[in-house]
């Protein structure tokens, strides 16, 4: 962990990690009890990636998210209430309930949207970077995607475009070793996705995705480079999803031993220990942060429950922006 | 011998029988091995046929379909599973510009015995990118056949036929049908592609539909019967080539046509059916044609909105009653 | 001020004016720089606007459209050129699952002011992968607008409107129209998207068409007039949203509908038009509906076959005469 | 050039180079005078790639071709008559006139088809290799494609699949420096496409695409490897198209100097000189080979001219294989 870790940083990070963890665990329960319909892709285990990456970003920088996107939205400063309400399909959700778990955005905090199509967001994030470049806004885009998405054609086309045009974008691959049930070794011809960077002449780095500050440092380097006009980077975060792919996954494709080994690297107890060790917070303070984060989750559930479903007429509204053209 | 099978079991039986009979048949797709596919159709096949023939792929829809085409034109009979129909968008070029056209362009030296199976439909709160019914696009791709079974028997029979067919066939399955069951004959032959079925005879109105909505239309017909309206229910079964004759014969008898589908209305399958009837059975029509379909919107996630979006038995009943009152 | 402009010049004028007025408008596509695009629409623009705004891309249709979406949702107004409409297959996912759905899914915070321009159509012996008219697919993509101008004035007006529109718009151009010319007002405002035009008034039959076939239909109408048949010619101009009212008004008057298009018949634009009329103007119909379209085959290369495939003036005349004789 | 060059090989190669060159020049004239309608993409300048690659193949090996495909078909042993007839749109053409310049195949000689969609053939060739592997036929597939196609998503997805599954396929990239008017440096983030091989853990080699024997040697190595079950390779042939992209191209995007420099490397005079030098053929013999090849082109034109157009009913025939399913 970074040696010059400030107490404020650590607390904020701990809050976010716990918020995301708590949020996802809460969502799983709500899916099980039928309060939330459809499916969900829990981010549990991968929190350090979203939190670390967003730590390296300005508020006006952008992120593009995936199907496993609640963590990205919360890490970028999204509102747990509106996020939870969206999962419930409520009118107060980010998309008024129309998007659901895989399809929501919060432009106000720089979150340009999650995406139900594996690899679908990669070119879109690339285009946002083009927009930042053309407008000279100084913004940088972080595009999150999984190891599975790295085998889609859009990955290749987008990274080539970004490198060619020196776009201010950082491709953050969350290599959690599986795409649904498919192990990386059964889907990707090489072990380290970061090595694909050389096919586009951009830097490619591997980083411990269970370590917030390692992720933040790597992303910061890439963001600085991008902001300086020196083009894109590919960062591969080695991480693990502690739970199944989605609500129904029995995880037949991997061993409980493998899971335990990764769980031993859980970023949350790790950060708690470091904070105590370095005197960045007392046990009581850590408990308070934890309680505060979990309380935010509870309020979000409450908010979502109490919110109304959209009115029937919402069905046919909002397909188009009216009154232009 | 008749057994009770679910729709997914019937599909799997077609796969198993084809693979047992013909060593060139194999399956490709994402998570179709130990995981059994997103909807379980291939569960158990890996153990029985091995990883060469139950071939788990990376997430690369274009290359999966493209590679299947390459295998098909060189003597294999690949069956591709696209996990959700929404993702055929990524394989659209390979399907429309290659699979469907090679035979016409290259001549008789080439055959493309390719099957692409994919689940369509909503009703499970999966949101706009995991709920679509996009089959209408493929009616507009000459060179492609499209089947859309509504029952376990048809699922087995049409998938078997698709695998035997030397042309590319898109097999549109429905998420809400996988768990439904019915009796399926163990030794039924493959069903002919291109033939609709009259699921219920009636004289007042023709309900033309396919896939999941056959069941809904039958329920509506039941309810209409109570009110003295005899609805005929046509299950198209194959969408391309469309069995125009069966539809026309029905409309000639009933004089009224209601097309029912789950996909969005504009440019849907019902448009084509309606157009054919308005061309070829105009003289027999006693009332305007009606289409019942989803609204022209992306499928909303919010459960009450999704329910409001998808056509229902009540929608059908209301539309038919309104039509009958015009007479 | 009126000037004589070709269709391609009119399109270019719309681009130039938009780029001059609004710094967020830019163009992306393959070979659109010095080369001027495969059909010359952007020739000269690179010199005037520079490589930042006339942005030549690698051959990566999916990423080009995807990147344009990303630019569009963050304040730019990209205009993408897809070199041949046949290649939109490669961008189908980005168009159908992203561009068209983002607004509905994400809510009012997002706008997708994206234009995708692309040349459709045959008649140039380019073969099956460079001659298609695939617009019908996009009628079945809620969230997308589709325009298909038939004249230089409409080309300019509709492209201008598409660029001003905050929604994704597909602009379907026609290879055989690029060199055609007409008078275009220098200061005409953008045309409203969604309004058809009655190109010729008539009382006997409604010929509903768009793009290149407007001209063909007008010639047919001319010929029919000699035989005493007054054909009304409707140019749809926008295919989505379809101007149903103008079509219905015409059919209510004439009682006969002939839909004409260059794309393949099954699942074409004519199916939707026919279905709407059979639903909403059934009582006014005096004859069966007719569709004139290409055969349900890939576009053949062989010049005589391609000519036989594409609908002609004679086809229209024959169909209309046959319809009139039924009366 | 290969030192153990046999006279027979050299003569066959010369014949093929001249045949392709003559064929393409003839086609251009026929397009100009309206005998051939539509467009054409001349292979002039790149002949050494097709001829060299096919020299390394068995008769039952397969090739997949592109829009610029006449040379591939002739090099694989296709019939100039049926090829020319196809360009004329005649019933005696490979596809009975329905395919045209970008869409024809000759399965009998192992040619699985040319392709009008840039990058469209790459996954198809990959699937043919899968078929060869599954059937244990020992066949190898050469997939031809251009530098432009290397930026398509299908390139990435296919090479990953082939490497993952150790498919017997050789990807032969014809880097002729341009995709239509677009220079490689304006489209590809790296200079040497062969370097993309590392993204899939396969060998990537650059080779002089103006030298038949250099191409043949590189392809042979890759073919041997593939046939031995050791998986795919990527071979980048540095080459140049001497003429425009298609019939109408004025070549505004490159200089006449650049063109001359490449023309100086024309494989045909180069091979003639070598043959003379090494005594592999006399000047008279070389002339005879040349005449013979050009005579074949002339007969092809004659054959095509005299052939009938397809009957009208051909329009709706042949979309489907009848009587199956
Ligand atoms: C185009 C497409 N193909 C397949 C899917 C189904 N699917 C959803 S998530 C997923 C796995 C994605 O794996 P990865 O990119 O590694 O992300 P992870 O789930 O591990 O976070 C798959 C196959 C999809 N949503 N979109
Ligand atoms: C998907 C697609 N996009 C664009 C085109 C138009 N096009 C035809 S050939 C070509 C250039 C291809 O370049 P390259 O792959 O380098 O092959 P070359 O022409 O140089 O042989 C282009 C852009 C096409 N046919 N298909
Ligand atoms: Mg993963
Ligand atoms: Mg090239």
CB contact under 8 A, C302 and D187: no
Q: What is the tally of helices (H) and strands (E) in chain D? A: 10, 7
Say whether the peptide bond before residue C241 is cis (omega within 30 degrees of 0). Answer: yes
Tokens of B274: 């309606």
Q: Which residues share a beta bridge with D304?
A: none
Q: Measured between beta carbons, which residues in chain A are less than 8 angstroms from residue D199?
A: 189-190, 195-196, 198-199
Task: Name the one residue in this structure whose structure tokens are 């549990």.
Answer: A44
- Residue D56: name the closest of D210, D214, D217, D209 by CA: D217
Residues in chain C within 8 Å Cβ distance of A129? 70
C62 contact residues in A (CB cutoff 8 A): 123, 153-154, 157
Q: Which residues contact A279 (CB under 8 A, 6 or more apart)?
A: none
Ligand nearest to the CA of D119: 2
- Return the half-sphere exposure (C-beta side, CA atoms, 13 A cut-off) of residue A292: 12
Contact A187 D195 (CB under 8 A): no
Which residue in the set C70, C162, C169 is minimally distant from A127, CB to CB? C70
Atom of ligand 1 nearest to the CA of B87: 1
DSSP per position, D92-106? TSTTTTSS-TTS--B
Of the pLDDT bands very low, low, confident and very high (cuts 50, 70, 90), residue A1 is very low
Q: Report the separation in Å between the CA atom of D298 and the middle of ligand 4, taken as the mean of its atom positions.
A: 29
**CA C96 to centroid of ligand 4, rounded, Å:** 30
Bridge partners (DSSP) of residue D145 are D173
pLDDT of residue C326: 82
Section C203-231 average pLDDT: 98
Q: How confident is the model at residue C327 (pLDDT cuts 50, 70, 90)?
A: low
Check D179 against C301: CB less than 8 A apart.
no
- Show the low-confidence residues of chain B (pLDDT under 70): 327
Taking the C-alpha atoms of residue C82 and residue D187, their distance in angstroms, rounded to an integer, is 16
Low-confidence ranges of chain D (pLDDT < 50): 1-2
Nearest-CA distance from C315 to chain B in Å? 16
How far apart are the C-alpha atoms of C252 and C254, rounded to whole Å?
6
Q: Is the CB of A117 under 6 A from ligand 1?
A: yes
The arithmetic mean of pLDDT across residues A286-294, rounded, is 98
Sign of CA dihedral A85, A88, A92, A95: positive
Closest CA to B170 of B155, B159, B157, B156: B159
Cα–Cα separations (whole angstroms), residue D172 to C246, D128, D165:
55, 15, 18
- The answer to whether the CB of A43 falls within 8 A of the CB of A245 is no
Pairing, β B205-209 against β B231-235: parallel
Note the residue count of chain A. 325
Q: Which residues contact D306 (CB under 8 A, 6 or more apart)?
A: none
Residue C189 has pLDDT above 90, yes or no: no
When pLDDT is cut at 50, 70 and 90, the band that residue A4 belongs to is low
Cβ distance C129 to B101 less than 8 Å, yes or no, reads: yes
Neighbours of C245 (CB within 10 A): 11
D124/B67 CB distance under 8 A: yes
Burial class of C206 by CB neighbour count within 10 A (0 to 12, 13 to 18, 19+): buried
Q: Which of C81, C130, C232, C306 is catalytic?
A: C130
> What is the phi-psi region of residue D34: left when phi exceeds 0, alpha when psi lies from -120 to 50, beta otherwise?
left
**Whether B130 is catalytic:** yes
**CA D193 – CA A163 distance, rounded (Å):** 14
Decide if A310 contacts A98 (C-beta within 8 A).
yes
Q: Ligand 1 within 6 A of A177 CB?
A: no
What whole-number distance in Å separates Cα of residue B82 and Cα of residue B91? Answer: 9
- Between the CA of residue A135 and those of A62, A138, A206, B96, what are the distances in Å? 14, 8, 31, 38
Structure tokens at B290: 């009606």
Secondary structure, 3-state, chain A: CCCCCCHHHHHHHHHHHHHHHHHHHHHHHHHHCCCCCCCCCCCCCCHHHHHHHHHCCCCCCEEECCCCCHHHHHHCCCCHHHHHHHHHCCCCCCCCCCCCCCCCCEHHHCECCCCCCCCCHHHHHHHHHHHHHHHCCCCCEEEEEECHHHHCHHHHHHHHHHHHCCCCEEEEEEECCEECCEEHHHCCCCCCHHHHHHHHCCCEEEEECCCHHHHHHHHHHHHHHHHCCCCCEEEEEECCCCCCCCCCCCCCCCCHHHHHHHHCCCHHHHHHHHHHHCCCCCHHHHHHHHHHHHHHHHHHHHHHHHCCCCCHHHHHCCCCCCCCC
Give the sheet arrangement for strand B77-81, strand by strand: B54-56, B25-29, B77-81, B115-120, B169-174, B145-147, B238-240
Exposed, middle or buried by CB within 10 Å (0-12, 13-18, 19+), for B40? middle
Other C-beta atoms closer than 10 Å to the C-beta of B41 total: 26
C-beta of residue C144 within 8 angstroms of C-beta of residue B296:
no
**Residue located nearest, by CA, to atom 19 of ligand 2:** D179
Sort A75 into a burial class: Cβ within 10 Å, 0-12 / 13-18 / 19+. Answer: buried
For residue A234, what are the β-bridge partners? A171, A204
d(CA B282, CA D110): 52
% of chain D with per-residue pLDDT over 70: 98
Q: What are D36-51's pLDDT values in tens digits?
A: 999 999 999 999 999 9
Q: Which residues contact B246 (CB under 8 A, 6 or more apart)?
A: B195, B196, B197, B198, B234
Query: How far apart are alpha carbons D91 and D75 in whole angstroms?
Result: 23
Identify which of C284, A217, A1, A188 has the alpha carbon closest to the alpha carbon of residue B285.
C284
In the prediction, which pLDDT does A325 show?
Answer: 56
For residue D150, the chain C residue with the least C-alpha distance is C59
Is the CB of A178 inside a 6 Å radius of any atom of ligand 1? yes
Q: Which DSSP string corresponds to B190-207?
A: PPPTT--EEEE--SSEEE
Q: Which pLDDT score is estimated for D212?
A: 97
Write down the residue that tokens 């809050």 correspond to.
Answer: A15
Residue C104 contacts A, CB cutoff 8 Å: yes
- Known catalytic residue at C61: yes
Residue nearest to atom 25 of ligand 2 (CA): D117
Helix and strand numbers, DSSP H then E, in chain C: 12, 14
Strand pairing of C77-81 and C115-120?
Answer: parallel
When pLDDT is averaged across residues A195-217 and rounded to a whole number, the result is 98
Task: Report how far residue B36's alpha carbon sits from residue A169's, in angstroms, rounded to the nearest whole number.
Answer: 37
- Is A275 within 8 Å of A286 (Cβ atoms)? yes
- pLDDT score at D325: 55
Task: Tell whether the model's pLDDT for residue C67 goes beyond 50.
Answer: yes
**What residues contact residue C159 under an 8 Å CB cut-off, 6+ apart?**
C10, C11, C14, C15, C115, C117, C147, C149, C171
Other Cβ atoms less than 10 A from the Cβ of A4: the count is 6
Please give the structure tokens belonging to residue D127. 């699937």
Residue A13, pLDDT > 80, answer: yes
Instruction: Check if the beta carbon of residue B154 is closer than 8 Å to that of residue B189.
Output: no
Catalytic residue among C13, C30, C61, C81: C61
CB-based contact B238:B196 (threshold 8 Å): yes
pLDDT of A2 over the 60 cut: no
Q: What was the pLDDT predicted at A103?
A: 98
d(C-alpha C157, C-alpha C47), whole Å: 24
D19: which residues sit within 8 A by CB, 6+ positions away? Answer: D74, D80, D293, D296, D297
* C-alpha closest to that of D320 among B194, B21, C123: B194
pLDDT of residue B188: 85
| pLDDT of amino acid B327 | 61
């Amino acid at each position: 962990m970074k040696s010059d870790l400030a107490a404020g940083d650590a607390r904020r990070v701990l809050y976010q990690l716990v918020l995301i963890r708590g949020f996802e665990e809460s969502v799983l329960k709500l899916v099980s009890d039928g309060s939330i319909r459809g499916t969900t892709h829990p981010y549990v285990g991968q929190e350090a990636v979203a939190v670390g990456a967003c730590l390296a970003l300005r508020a006006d920088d952008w992120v593009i998210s995936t199907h496993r996107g609640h963590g990205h939205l919360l890490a970028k400063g999204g509102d747990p209430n509106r996020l939870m309400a969206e999962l419930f399909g409520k009118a107060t959700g980010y998309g008024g309930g129309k998007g659901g778990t895989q399809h929501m955005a919060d432009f106000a905090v720089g979150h340009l949207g999650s995406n139900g199509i594996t690899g679908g967001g990669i070119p879109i994030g690339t285009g946002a970077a083009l927009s930042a470049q053309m407008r000279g806004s100084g913004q940088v885009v972080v595009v999150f995607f999984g190891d599975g998405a790295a085998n889609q054609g859009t990955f290749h086309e987008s990274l080539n475009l970004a490198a060619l045009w020196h776009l201010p974008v950082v491709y953050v691959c969350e290599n959690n070793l599986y795409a649904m049930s498919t192990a990386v070794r059964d889907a990707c011809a090489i072990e380290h996705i970061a090595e694909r960077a050389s096919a586009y002449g951009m830097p490619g780095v591997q980083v411990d995705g269970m370590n917030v500050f390692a992720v933040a440092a790597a992303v910061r380097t890439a963001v600085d480079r991008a902001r300086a006009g020196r083009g894109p980077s590919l960062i591969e975060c080695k991480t693990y999803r502690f739970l199944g792919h989605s609500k129904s996954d029995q995880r037949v494709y991997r061993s409980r031993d493998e899971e335990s080994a990764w769980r031993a690297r859980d970023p949350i107890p790790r950060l708690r220990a470091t904070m105590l060790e370095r005197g960045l917070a007392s046990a009581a303070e850590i408990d308070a942060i934890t309680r505060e984060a979990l309380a935010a989750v509870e309020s979000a559930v409450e908010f979502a429950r109490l919110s109304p479903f959209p009115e029937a007429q919402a069905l046919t509204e909002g397909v188009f922006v009216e009154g232009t053209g | 011998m008749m057994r009770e099978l679910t729709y997914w079991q019937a599909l799997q039986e077609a796969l198993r029988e084809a693979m047992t009979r013909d060593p060139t048949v194999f399956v490709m797709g994402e998570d179709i091995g130990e995981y059994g596919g997103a909807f379980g159709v291939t569960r158990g096949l890996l153990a029985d046929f091995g990883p060469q023939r139950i071939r788990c792929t990376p997430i690369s829809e274009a290359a999966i379909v493209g590679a299947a085409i390459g295998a098909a034109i060189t003597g294999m009979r690949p069956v591709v599973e696209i996990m959700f129909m929404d993702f055929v968008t990524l394989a659209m070029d390979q399907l429309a510009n290659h699979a469907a056209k090679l035979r016409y362009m290259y001549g008789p030296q080439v055959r493309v015995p390719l099957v692409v199976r994919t689940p369509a439909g909503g009703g499970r709160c999966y949101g706009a990118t995991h709920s679509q019914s996009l089959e209408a696009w493929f009616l507009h791709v000459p060179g492609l056949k499209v089947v859309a079974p509504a029952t376990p028997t048809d699922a087995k029979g049409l998938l078997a036929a698709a695998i035997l067919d030397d042309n590319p066939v898109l097999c549109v399955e429905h998420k809400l049908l996988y768990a439904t069951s019915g009796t399926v004959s163990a030794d039924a032959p493959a069903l002919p592609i291109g033939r609709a079925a009259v699921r219920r005879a009636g004289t007042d109105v023709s309900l033309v539909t396919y896939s999941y909505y056959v069941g809904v239309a039958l329920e509506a017909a039941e309810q209409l019967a109570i009110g003295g309206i005899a609805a005929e229910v046509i299950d198209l079964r194959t969408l391309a080539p469309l069995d125009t004759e069966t539809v026309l014969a029905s409309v000639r008898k009933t004089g009224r046509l209601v097309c029912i589908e789950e996909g969005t209305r504009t440019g849907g399958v019902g448009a084509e059916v309606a157009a054919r009837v308005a061309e070829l059975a105009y003289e027999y029509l006693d009332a305007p044609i009606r289409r019942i379909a989803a609204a022209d919107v992306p499928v909303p996630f919010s459960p009450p909105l999704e329910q409001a979006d998808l056509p229902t038995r009540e929608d059908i009943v209301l539309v038919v009653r309104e039509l009958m009152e015009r007479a």
